[in-house]
A = this chain, B = another copy of it.
Amino acid sequence: MQLKMTKQDLTEFLADVFDQVADDFTVEDLAPNYARIRLNVGEKHLRPGGTVSGPSMFALADCAVYMAVLAMIGPKALAVTTNASMDFMRKPAANTDLIAETRILKLGKRLAVGDVLIFSEGLDKPVAHSTMTYSIPD
């Protein structure tokens, strides 16, 4: 199955539909069933000490799977998250962007499942892992 949207398509779609968070995310790379999404870490994502907050990591994982799914099915679908699981494994590096390596594990008619590893940019070991399920409307 091939991509139905380019990086630019996705970026414009995000700006259009979720303008209040679109600046938080950058689509870095895109391939069939794959996306690499950056969280442009700013003041609002941080906890005292400069570490990225849990909800910000959740938002990144959620957005990353959403982008990867939309790239495959096109911009018209109003997909919604139905299930999320996250493991927080290490403290993110202070004041450092996060990178979400995202794979689509299943792209069915009704459900899509994606898997995300989140890294502090430049570091080897993942800070978090997430699995997200999206329900795809008819």
Contact = CB atoms under 8 A, between A and B. Distances in A.
Bin the interface of chain A by size: 35 or more
B106 A135 contact: no
A62 B86 CA distance: 12
A61 B49 CA distance: 22
Most chain B CB neighbours (cut-off 10 Å) among A56, A83, A131, A135: A83
Interface string A49-88: 0000111101100100000000000000000111111111
Given A83-B88, A89-B105, A90-B106, A131 B129 contact: yes
Interface of A: 17-18, 20, 44, 47-48, 53-56, 58-59, 62, 80-90, 105-106, 108, 110-111, 113, 115, 117, 125-126, 129, 131, 133, 135
